[in-house]
Structure 1
Amino acid sequence: MKCIIVDDEPIARKGIEKLTTTISSLKLLGCFESAETAAKFIRDHEVDLLFLDIQMSGLNGIELARTIPATTLVIFTTAFAEYALDSYEVDAVDYLVKPIKPERFKKAVEKALSYHSMLLSEEKNVGIEQVNNDFMFIKSDRRFFKVNFRDILFVEGLKDYVIIQTTTQRLITHMNLKTIHGLLPQLNFLRVNRSYIINKESIDSFSNNDVFIRDYEISIGNSYRDEFFDELLKK
Structure 2
Amino acid sequence: MPASSVLRVVIVDDNEINRLTLEHYVSLTDGLELVASLPDARAALALTRSVQPPVDVLFLDIEMPVLSGLELVPLLPSPAPDVVMVTSHPSFAVDAFDLRVTDYLVKPVDYGRFLKAVDRVREPRRAAAPAPAEAANLKVEDSELFVKVNNKLIRLDFNDVLFIEAMSTYSILVTETQKHIVYITLKALEERLPFAHFRRVHRSYIVNTRRIDAVQDNMLQLGSYEVPVGKSYAEEFMKQLRGL
1:147 corresponds to which of 137, 153, 168: 168
Distance 1:105 1:145 in 2: 35
Amino acid at match of 1:86: D
Distance 1:5 1:88 in 2: 19
Aligned pair count reads 132
Amino acid at match of 1:107: K
Distance 1:73 1:144 in 2: 33
| Pairs within 5 Å for 1:166-185 | 169=183
Instruction: Name the residue aligned to 1:66.
Output: 74
CA RMSD for the aligned pairs? 2.3
Distance 1:53 1:144 in 2: 45
Distance 1:55 1:106 in 2: 23
Distance 2:16 2:91 in 1: 22
1:57 corresponds to which of 54, 61, 65: 65
1:88-130: CA deviations, max 9, x gaps? 1221111000000111100110110112333436xxxxxxxxx
Distance 2:68 2:60 in 1: 9
Using CA pairs under 8 Å that are at least 6 residues apart, name the structure with larger relative contact order, 1 or 2.
1
Amino acid at match of 1:112: V
SS at match of 1:77: strand
Instruction: Name the residue aligned to 1:29.
Output: 35
Instruction: Name the residue aligned to 1:86.
Output: 95
Distance 1:26 1:144, change over 3 A: farther
Matched, 1:14 2:13: no
SS at match of 2:168: strand
SS at match of 2:105: strand
SS at match of 2:129: helix
Matched, 1:77 2:86: yes
Amino acid at match of 2:92: Y
Distance 1:82 1:119, change over 3 A: farther
* Contact 2:9/2:58 (<8 A) preserved: yes
| Pairs within 5 Å for 1:104-183 | 104-120=113-129, 145-147=166-168, 169=183
User: Alpha-carbon deviation of 1:26?
Assistant: 0.5
Distance 1:38 1:144 in 2: 45
SS at match of 1:47: coil
**TM-score, normalisation: structure 1:** 0.52
Distance 2:83 2:165 in 1: 29
User: Alpha-carbon deviation of 1:16?
Assistant: 0.7
Instruction: Name the residue aligned to 1:47.
Output: 55
Runs of 4+ displaced beyond 2 Å: 115-121, 168-171
5+ residue gaps in structure 2? 1-6, 131-163, 170-181, 188-244
5+ residue gaps in structure 1? 122-142, 149-167, 174-235
User: Alpha-carbon deviation of 1:170?
Assistant: 7.9
SS at match of 1:56: coil
Instruction: Name the residue aligned to 1:138.
Output: none
Distance 2:70 2:88 in 1: 14
Matched, 1:101 2:110: yes
